[in-house]
Amino acid sequence: QVSLVESGGGLVQAGGSLRLSCAASIRTVSTYAMGWFRQPPGKEREFVAAITWSGGPTGYADSVKGRFTISRDNAKNTVYLQMNALKPEDTAVYYCARGRTTVVNTNPSAYDYWGQGTQVTVSS
């Protein structure tokens, strides 16, 4: 059983930064792609960023390109999401997820294990 635990969420003013972490319970993240998704209030879950198993190619939603950076430390079984220049529209519950394969994918159905989520609130 794979367990993913997100941390690092909180309340921040617009223009500020947060760094989310996703810790895996076992040594699984080193062989699969990992992704971050978010669900704004009253909206569907949406793709934010993903990274291949090797930490090489990455993918980002257009809304976060240039502001967010995904990275991973396979030795620590941890994936990160550095969020800079935050905007009120970034307010959401953020989830990390493990991909079913090693490649980047923007579709939630391409991910099989999910964390419980961490709340990010950006005030204007």
Asked if pLDDT for residue 103 goes beyond 70, the answer is: yes
Cross-strand pairs, 95: 37
Q: Using alpha carbons, select from 123, 91, 93, 89 the residue that is nearest to residue 13.
A: 123
Look up tokens 């992704």; give the residue: 35
Tell me the average pLDDT of the chain.
93
Query: For strand 4-7 and strand 68-73, is the pairing parallel, antiparallel, or unpaired?
Result: unpaired
pLDDT at 30: 65
Q: Which of 24-33, 43-52, 94-103 has the lowest mean pLDDT?
A: 24-33
**Residue 1 pLDDT:** 78
So what's the pLDDT on residue 85? 98
